Homo-oligomer: A and B are copies of this chain.
Amino acid sequence: MNARIRPVRPQLGDEAASFLRDQITSGTLAAGAPVRPETVADELGISTTPAREALQALRAEGFLDLAPRRGFTVAKVDGNDVRDMFLVQSMVAGELAARAASKATPETIAALDEIHTELTAAANRGDLASLEELNHAFHREINLAADAPRLAWVIKLVSRYAPRRFYASINGWPETTVHDHTGLLEAIRAGDAERARTEMTEHVRHAGEQLASHIDARIAAQG
C-alpha cells in the first residue's frame, strides 16, 4: 500500500539510497548491521523492488557489503576509510583545478568571481546553508570548466563519503573556505595550472582530515 500520496514520484530507489547513505555516513547505522530490503521498504513506505535497487546501488558505492544468500550488511567506514577517499578526491580535484586553470574563459572566471563574492558575503553573515550551497557551486563551476566528465564522476562518487551538511559543522570552516577559495581563484585567473592544483589538493586534503578526525572521535566515543 502507498503510505503517502505524492504529486510527483521521483526515482524511489535513488531517494531510498540517499536516505540510507546519510544514515551510514552519519553513523546512525552501525557497521555490520544487517539491512533488509523489506525493512527499509516498510520504513520509507515504498515497495521492496526499489528498496532492493537502492541497496544494490549502495553496494556499488561501497557502503554496503553483500554476502550471497546472506543479505546486505553495513560496511565499516572509519576515519582511515574517509581519509583515503578524500585523498583520491584531493588528487582528482587537483587535476580538475589544473585543467580549469589552463582552459578557463573570461566567462568562467566571471562566474567564479560572482560565486566567490556571494560566498564571502554568506560567510560574513554566518549563513551556513548558503555557504554550503555556494561552496558546491564554486567547485561545480571548476569541474565544469575542466571539461573532464569522467574525473567529475569520480569526484561525485568519492565525495559521497562526506555526510550531507558536514562542512557547516566544522569549526572555523567559513573562514578557511573563503581563504582557500581566494587563493584558488587567483591561480585560475593567472592560468597557473600547477598552483591551482596545489591549492585545490591542499584545500580538499584539509577538509578530509577534519572529517576523518571527526569520525574517529565519534567511533571512539561510541565503541
Q: How many of these chains are in the complex?
A: 2
Is there contact, CB below 8 Å, between B150 and A85?
yes
Contact residues of A between 154 and 174, Cβ < 8 Å to B: 154, 157-158
Is there contact, CB below 8 Å, between B158 and A62?
no
Is there contact, CB below 8 Å, between B151 and A13?
no
- The distance in angstroms between the C-alpha atoms of A57 and B62, with both chains bound, is 12
Number of chain A residues close to chain B: CB under 8 A? 29
Interface of A is mostly: helix
- The distance in angstroms between the C-alpha atoms of A149 and B77, with both chains bound, is 11
A199 within 8 A of B: no
Contact string, A172-202, partner B, CB cutoff 8 A, digits 1/0? 0000000000000000000000000000000
**Least CB distance, A216 to chain B, in whole angstroms:** 15
Given that A88-B88, A150-B85 are contacting pairs, would A60 and B57 also be in contact in the complex, using a CB cutoff of 8 Å? Answer: yes
